[in-house]
Structure 1
Amino acid sequence: MTFSICVYEPVETDGDESGDDEGEREHHDCFGVAVTTRLPGVGTLCPFASERGAVATQSLVNVDLGRRGIEYIDDGLAVDDALESLLNADHDASSRQLHGVDAEGTFVFSGEECGDWYGHREGDGYTVAGNLLTGESVLEAVADSYESSDRSAPLSKRLIDALAGGHDEGGDKREELSVQSAAVVVRTTEEHPLDPSYNDLRVDATETPIADLRETYEFAKEGYEAAMERYEESYEADQQETEASEAEEN
C-alpha cells in the first residue's frame, strides 16, 4: 500500500564563507526518507530519521520497528543489525516491509505475505521498497529519479521528486482509494541557526499527494528563506548564547 525511499548522503562544504579553496572543508551527514500511500496520515506512521540514520516501516505497519530502529542506530548499532534484531522478535515479520540506511550501509526486508506487487531495491547509499504497487517499474522509477538528481538541490526536494517518479509510473494500484498522503523527513549534522522548515513536511489527506507535498515544500522553503533574511542575526545570537550557557554548565 506504500512506497518509500531512504537515503544517506555525505556532504562537504567550505569551512568559511570566503570561497578560498585552501580553506578547511567541513563534513556533514544527511539522512532522509520520503513515503506516499493511498491512505491518510502516512507521515505519522512510516518515516523515521535522525542524524545517524533513516528508516521506513510499511505494509502491515509496526511503528515500533521504525521508532526503535532509529533508537538502536543512534545508540551505535549498525542499521542491518538494528533492523534484523527487531524483525527477529516480531511474530508478524512476514507481513512487514522494513528498510533503512546509516552512514556505513543499508538494509531491506520484504516479508513473503506483503501485498502483490511488492519488492525492494538497494543502491549506493539508498534503499527503496513498496507493496501493493502496479509493478516493479514503480521502484525503478523512484531509484532512477534519485540517482539522476542534481546533488546541489536540497535532499528534501529530490526525495519528493523521487516519489513523483514512482507515482507517475503507477504507484499504489488501489485506485478505488482516493484519499492519499505523503511525507518527507530529512535530518543533517550540519548546524543551522534555525532548522530548515522544508525538511519535515507532511500532507495527511488529499487526492493529489505528490503535487501537494511539492507545493508545501516550495512554500516552506520560501518562508524559511524569508525568515532567515529577516531574523538570521537574532537566531545566531540566541544559538551562541545557548551554547555558551551549556558550556558553563558543563
Structure 2
Amino acid sequence: MTFSIVASDGVDVGVAVASKFVAVGAVVPHAEAGVGAVATQCYANPRLGRVILALLQHRSPREALEKALAQDAEREIRQVGVVNARGEAYVHTGGKCPYYAGHIVGNGYAALGNILAGPEVLEAMAKAFETKRGELVDKLLAALEAGDRAGGDRRGRQSAALLVLRPGGGYLGLSDTYVDIRVDDHPNPVEELKRIFHIWELTLLQREDPSDVVSKRDVAAEVQRALKKLGFYRGEVTGVWDEATEEAFRDWAGYENFENKIRDDDKIWGTVYRYLLSKLNG
C-alpha cells in the first residue's frame, strides 16, 4: 500500500518510497552499488529484495524478477519494481493488488504503486523524474514529492524513505551509502524527508558548487566572532586568520560533523560558512 520509484543513472542506484505504513523504509527499499535497486511492496515480501539483487548479477531485471516470483505462492498480491545499474527496469504488479495499482517503466526508472489516488500519481512521478535536473537523488526526491502532491497513497500519509548507493560514495569514501534516510512516522513524511535530506547534504555530501567559496582572509573577523560566541575561539577578534583561528574552526567543524568539508587551502565552502553564521545569528 505504497508508491515508490526505483532508478539508476548508470552510476548511482536508488529507491524512494512513501506510504500510509509505519517505517516503510524498513520493508520496501533494497539496493546494491553497481548492481541495481528493488522495491518490494503490496503485502511486501522483503526477502525478494536480496534474492533479486543476487540474480541481477547475471540476469536482466525481468529474468531476475520472474525467477524470484516463481518461488512465491503469493505473487499475485505482490508488487515489485527492479532496475539494474545500466538503467534497465521491470515491474510486476500482481493481479490482486488493491486498486488503484499500476506502474510506469521509463528510461532508467520504474514508478509503481498500489492503493493510489489514481494513475495520476504515477504519471506525476514519471514526469518529475524525467524533467528534474541534477543527480539521481534529486530526481528521486522530485518524483516522490510529485507523487505525494498528486494524491499518493489514498489512505493518507505516514512514512517515507530514500536510499541511494554509489560505489565509494559514502562517508569519507568508506562505504557505498551515498544517501540513506528515513521518516518512520510523521503527518507529512515526504516534506520531513526533504528536510532531513538537506541536513544530510550539508553535512555529508561533497557536491558543492566549486564557485561557492569564501576566502578565509576576507571573513576572518566574522568567523572569529561566531566561534567566540560558540565557545571555540578564545582569542581577540583581530580579523587575521591565524593558527588559533584555524584550530578553532577545525574544532567547530568536527563538532558539527563537517570534518569532510574542511578544505586544505585558504577557502571555506560557502555552505559551511553560511551555516556557521546562522549559529551566530541564531
TM range (shorter): 0.7 to 0.9
Unaligned runs of 5+ residues in structure 2 are: 207-257, 265-282
Unaligned runs of 5+ residues in structure 1 are: 11-28, 233-250
2:104 aligned with 1:121: yes
The answer to which structure has the higher strand fraction is 1
Matches of 1:197 and 1:54 in 2, distance apart? 13
Larger radius of gyration: 2
Choose between structure 1 and 2 for higher RCO, CA contacts under 8 A separated by at least 6 residues. Answer: 1
Q: Which moved more, 1:199-208 or 1:187-196?
A: 187-196
Partner of residue 137, structure 2: 156
* CA spacing shift, 1:104–1:218, aligned 2, 3 Å: closer
Matches of 1:144 and 1:63 in 2, distance apart? 28
Maintained 8 Å contact 1:7/1:54: yes
* Residue type at the aligned position of 2:7: V
* Residue type at the aligned position of 1:159: L
**Cα deviation per residue 1:180-227 (whole Å; 9 max; x = unaligned)?**
111111112355643587611111111111110000000011111533
**Cα deviation per residue 1:121-167 (whole Å; 9 max; x = unaligned)?**
100111011000010000000010000010xx232232112111000
Over 3 Å off, 4+ runs: 190-193, 195-198
2:191 aligned with 1:208: no
Maintained 8 Å contact 1:203/1:212: yes
Partner of residue 163, structure 2: 185
| Equivalences for residues 155-174 of structure 1 within 5 A | 155-174=136-155
* Residue type at the aligned position of 1:38: K
Maintained 8 Å contact 2:61/2:90: yes
2:61 to 50, 71, 79: 79
**Cα deviation per residue 1:110-131 (whole Å; 9 max; x = unaligned)?**
0011010000110011101100
TM-score, scaled to structure 1:
0.78
Percent of aligned positions that are identical: 34
Maintained 8 Å contact 1:198/1:217: no
2:259 aligned with 1:227: yes
| Equivalences for residues 1-250 of structure 1 within 5 A | 1-10=1-10, 29-51=11-33, 52-73=35-56, 75-102=57-84, 103=86, 105-150=88-133, 153-175=134-156, 180-189=158-167, 193-194=172-173, 195=175, 199-224=179-204, 225=206, 226-230=258-262
Partner of residue 270, structure 2: none
* CA spacing shift, 1:204–1:104, aligned 2, 3 Å: closer
TM-score, scaled to structure 2:
0.70
Matches of 2:190 and 2:44 in 1, distance apart? 21
Superposition CA RMSD, Å: 2.0
